[in-house]
Structure 1
Amino acid sequence: MGCCSSRSSDSPASRVARWRSTGIVALRDARLKAVPNEVLQVGNSLRILDLTNNKIVDIPQEVGRFVNMQRLVLTGNLIENIPANIGYLRNLKILALDRNRISVLPEELGSLSNLQQLSLSQNSLSRLPKSVGDLRNMLLLNVSDNKLTALPESIGACSSLEELQANGNSIEDVPSSICTLVCLKSLSLNGNKIRQLPQNLLRDCKALQNISLHDNPILMDQFQQMDGFKEFEARRRKKIDKQIDSNVMMSSTGLDEGIDLH
């Protein structure tokens, strides 16, 4: 009886019932090559789907059914393409697609009107869609370690953006529209080909506290001569002083705010 009961309790039907009840499906490190059919049966009840560290190649078209999903984590898979109907996930707040093989993003990504965090590091992206500028509620964008040569001008429309990480690309020019990001606090552009920044960046981005530009051709003198440098430096030092006063635990690089450009 015990064996039969155990098998029954973990049947596909019972898993679907449990997932519908909790709204959470977490199948990390499960050696999956595809999204299980049982997951697709959860429907509108699904709020969180975490399939980290599997071998999934495709995101099924049915993903568009999960209209109440708030968090989709597919980090560490073999995904190459994102289906256009991901744009139906209007309640999605977090989308993590790091460590995949994605080279192109659909324009429909811009329909994710409630998205707050978009993480796409360690993929093969050569460009970002223009529609990224429609993500007006996005707080964090991480596109580090891709093949980007530029950031889209439309990024200046991401009016809530607080942190932009684009390390380890081949970016040469930073669009002037970035100066409109009045909420931007942290800009990380290490390991690119940047020789200069928009002249008004430090003056107009009045919330900016941290810029990391290590391993770029830009010179420290150029940075210090930018309009608003003194004000930026004051904000940066105030942040560091506050961290010290609060006894924040830091790594050995915790106080390295990217001012030392080389």
Structure 2
Amino acid sequence: MHSLEDLNTGKLHGIRRLDLSCGLTEFPRAIFELADSLEVLNLSGNALSSLPDDLYRLRHMRILFVSDNDFIELPACIGRCEQLQVIGFKANRIRHVPAEALPPQLRSLILTDNQIDSLPEALGNCAHLQKLMLAGNRLQRLPDSLARCQRLELLRIAVNQLTGLPDWLLQMPALAWLAHGGNPLSPPVPAIDVLAIAWQQLQLGEKLGEGASGVIQQALWQRPGQDPLAVAVKVYKGHVTSDGSPLDEMAACLVAGVHEQLIRVEGRIADHPEGRAALVLDLIDPAFINLAGPPSLESCTRDIYPTGLRLEQDTALRIASGIASATAHLHSHGMIHGDLYAHNILWSPQGECLLGDFGAAAFHPRAEQAAMLERIETRAFGILLGELLERCELPPGDPVWALQEQCVQADVMQRPTMAEVKQLLAASLELKLTARNS
């Protein structure tokens, strides 16, 4: 984090990224002194409510974050920033998005957790748009013009006031990651018979991790009449995340049930001392690690894999087959995962894998739309499959490459179901193992 003093005294001359969070109520004009070099401007965590009309003077600025401020309108001045590609105004009080606020090179627009009830038809003119984050607003409909955004791959519209998903949305050729839970269109969550675990039976240990939806800690579960069992406890937060509602995430975990490639839910905590929702989960072997990191500002919608990662063919196909099986299982339970990415997959060198993070999961709103929703997720799987195949040197003519191409094709209903993908990958893996052992 930079200081206002360093900015004002010229010590930051030539920097490409500026991060200022120091209670600002006005835009520091000294930022314009960085116009020759500045590409990333982060003013999140201040008390700003406006930006200067001449913001376009930052002619090299590609990325602008102004989250956690006091804006009630997306500033029209940002639309004049010709190089601006990524805009983040999460957790303000924005009600209005003027057409003039959309820059010509826009790739990623993040307006999570605001008060927006409508979007301009001009959004459809954003031909480069790949990522649109709108969870936690008041939208009742999406502009029909959005159908023209043929490069849109990731859309978060959970926790709004949407009463239906337009068919044109489900036919968009590049869409792969969709979160739509927590809207009036969502069906009632099925009743699930799950074990109620008393808080007093848990002895909390070290913190294992914390995400937008909750905190995970290791614990010992003293089951009545049995030896203590090492488990993980996830205590959910109450506020909206970029994907949706943490409570919807918990419901999806419960409905998903038991599958070899899903983290098992042992029970639900019924009496958390602060009244929070919480689950007791299987403790994952520390040998499992994340397959990749989340997308970067540059990659936008593509995961970042460890440099030089190479996989054995069998390992890559086992991971692909396991995740295909888990995804088909979710579809059979009337839901999509919504965030089928390598960064949400834990794996071991032997090819064992687990699919986690149900933050974007959602239940099918209408039976007649289920097939399209599931085939949108088929495209997400196809992108993942391609990333795995690129790292295991599978010959270009291998039938699995043909399957990958089918999964990502533009015509949504021509993609295979995940149940079909599961069968084809299992058969391919068996053939390769048989040929190797013969």
Q: Distance in 1 between matches of 2:15 and 2:116?
A: 35
Q: Distance in 1 between matches of 2:28 and 2:141?
A: 37
- Map 1:240-251 onto structure 2 (within 5 A): none
Shift of the alpha carbon at 1:240?
8.6
Q: Distance in 2 between matches of 1:238 and 1:67?
A: 37
* Equivalent residue in structure 2 for 1:94, among 63, 86, 90: 86
Structure 2: which 5+ runs fail to align? Answer: 188-335, 339-359, 392-417, 419-438
Q: Distance in 1 between matches of 2:78 and 2:380?
A: 38
Q: Distance in 2 between matches of 1:94 and 1:232?
A: 24
* Equivalent residue in structure 2 for 1:107, among 82, 99, 103: 99
Partner of 2:362: 214
Q: 101-110 vs 117-126, which deviates more?
A: 101-110
Q: Are residue 14 (structure 1) and residue 23 (structure 2) matched?
A: no
Q: Distance in 1 between matches of 2:160 and 2:66?
A: 22
Q: Kindly provide the amino acid, as one letter, of the partner of residue 32 in structure 1.
A: L
Q: Are residue 51 (structure 1) and residue 47 (structure 2) matched?
A: no
Q: Distance in 2 between matches of 1:160 and 1:86?
A: 22
Shift of the alpha carbon at 1:239?
7.7
Q: Kindly provide the amino acid, as one letter, of the partner of residue 142 in structure 1.
A: M
8 Å CA contact retained: 2:177, 2:376: no
8 Å CA contact retained: 1:191, 1:215: no
- Map 1:223-262 onto structure 2 (within 5 A): 223-224=369-370, 226=371
Partner of 1:193: 184
* Equivalent residue in structure 2 for 1:174, among 165, 174, 187: 165
Q: Measured at CA, do residues 90 and 126 of structure 1 come closer, stay the same or move farther in structure 2, by a change above 3 Å?
A: same
8 Å CA contact retained: 1:185, 1:210: no
Q: Are residue 79 (structure 1) and residue 227 (structure 2) matched?
A: no
- Map 1:17-28 onto structure 2 (within 5 A): 18=12, 20-28=13-21
Partner of 1:202: none
Task: Please list the CA deviations of residues 134-169 of structure 1 after superposition, one character each: whole Å capped at 9, or x if unmatched.
Answer: 111111100110010001101111111110000100
8 Å CA contact retained: 1:143, 1:166: yes
How many residue pairs match? The answer is 218
Shift of the alpha carbon at 1:193?
1.7
Q: Kindly provide the amino acid, as one letter, of the partner of residue 176 in structure 1.
A: D
Partner of 1:123: 114
- SS across alignment from 1:45: coil
Q: Measured at CA, do residues 188 and 39 of structure 1 come closer, stay the same or move farther in structure 2, by a change above 3 Å?
A: same
8 Å CA contact retained: 1:35, 1:56: yes
Q: Kindly provide the amino acid, as one letter, of the partner of residue 14 in structure 1.
A: G
Q: Kindly provide the amino acid, as one letter, of the partner of residue 12 in structure 1.
A: N
Q: Distance in 2 between matches of 1:64 and 1:242?
A: 39
Q: Measured at CA, do residues 88 and 213 of structure 1 come closer, stay the same or move farther in structure 2, by a change above 3 Å?
A: same
- SS across alignment from 2:100: helix
Q: Are residue 141 (structure 1) and residue 132 (structure 2) matched?
A: yes
Shift of the alpha carbon at 1:222?
4.2
Q: Kindly provide the amino acid, as one letter, of the partner of residue 20 in structure 2.
A: L
8 Å CA contact retained: 1:102, 1:125: yes
- SS across alignment from 2:155: strand
8 Å CA contact retained: 1:34, 1:56: yes
Q: Are residue 64 (structure 1) and residue 60 (structure 2) matched?
A: no
Q: Kindly provide the amino acid, as one letter, of the partner of residue 144 in structure 1.
A: A
8 Å CA contact retained: 1:210, 1:236: no
8 Å CA contact retained: 2:56, 2:78: yes
**Alignment TM-score, normalising by the size of structure 1:** 0.71
- SS across alignment from 1:22: coil
Shift of the alpha carbon at 1:14?
1.6
Percent same amino acid at aligned positions? 22
Aligned CA RMSD, in angstroms, stands at 3.2
Shift of the alpha carbon at 1:214?
3.4
Task: Please list the CA deviations of residues 166-194 of structure 1 after superposition, one character each: whole Å capped at 9, or x if unmatched.
Answer: 01000113233324420110111011122
Q: Kindly provide the amino acid, as one letter, of the partner of residue 139 in structure 2.
A: L
Q: Which has the larger radius of gyration?
A: 2
Task: Please list the CA deviations of residues 217-256 of structure 1 after superposition, one character each: whole Å capped at 9, or x if unmatched.
Answer: x25x4444x4696x5676677789999999xxxxxxxxxx
Higher strand fraction: Structure 1 or Structure 2? 2
Q: Kindly provide the amino acid, as one letter, of the partner of residue 129 in structure 1.
A: P
Partner of 2:151: 160
Task: Please list the CA deviations of residues 102-131 of structure 1 after superposition, one character each: whole Å capped at 9, or x if unmatched.
Answer: 111111234x22221110001110101111
